Amino acid sequence: MDKINVAIADDSIEADEILSRMVLEDDSLRLVGKAHTEQEFMQLLREKSLDIVIFDTVVPKLRRTNRRISVTNSAGRNTVKYKIQENGLKLRETDTAGLEVKVTELFRELGIPAHIRGYHYLRDSIILSVNDREMLGSVTKLLYPEVARKYATTPSRVERAIRHAIELSWMRGQKEKLNEIFSFTMEKGKGKPTNSEFIALISDKVRLEWMNNR
């Protein structure tokens, strides 16, 4: 049986040692790389064929917070999950596929067509913001560039495409759903929300529903 390719991204030497030992002791896992900085982490993602990335929840910043380990991707998730818990580390799993389903369902109600670029940019922006709330604090400096890198485009094009998607949503979306989510902007007479407001409100809604259903 093929081994599962695992990478570790963490700025803690202690956690790095525990996680490395955990992977190396399991014959079903193969440790293919480590990262201790954002640059090393991004290089790992570009250069390695990975089934699992075990990382601190502050990645890609890799700044120190309360120790909590996340696991992304599905292959071998349970194997890694139990071993992390056995070693006394806290676990938070990132189910990107589950988040995509929730966002896609919501976009359908909001009238955002799937064929436009802004649909994909907005979906990824929301998923990134659910996983890392700091993205919302610097949309132009962190979030747009991150999405732009994925699609080999520019942050300004990401911003424009997302704005267009929001405009279509405001014209085509279910009024009840728009009012449910964006009642604050409507009550204030502000019209459609800004990109940042739209992403923040949708991210909060998705995050709460996702956590409640886990």
Q: Where do the structural domains in the chain lie, given as residue ranges?
A: 4-94, 96-212
Q: pTM for the whole thing?
A: 0.60
Q: What is the dihedral of CA 35, 159, 100, 182, to 10 degrees?
A: 130
Rounded to whole angstroms, the Cα distance separating 198 from 184 reads 11
Tens of pLDDT, residue by residue over 114-138, are: 999 999 999 999 988 887 777 888 8
Domains 4-94 and 96-212 share a fold: no
Position 175 scores a pLDDT of 86
Position 185 scores a pLDDT of 61
Residue type, 178: L
DSSP secondary structure of 144-197: HHHHHHHHTS-HHHHHHHHHHHHHHHHHHS-HHHHHHHHHHHHHTT--SPPHHH
Alpha helices in 30-76 (DSSP H): 38-47
CATH number of 96-212: 1.10.10.10
Residue type, 195: N
Our CA angle for 36, 121, 70, nearest 5°, is 35
Position 184 scores a pLDDT of 65
Among the listed residues 90, 87, 96, 72, the one whose alpha carbon sits nearest the alpha carbon of residue 26: 87
Fold classification of 4-94 is: Rossmann fold (3.40.50)
Rounded to whole angstroms, the Cα distance separating 76 from 214 reads 19
Q: Are 136 and 126 in contact (CB under 8 A)?
A: no
Rounded to whole angstroms, the Cα distance separating 21 from 179 reads 51
Flag residues of the chain having pLDDT under 50.
Answer: 57-69, 73-77, 89-91
Position 81 scores a pLDDT of 54
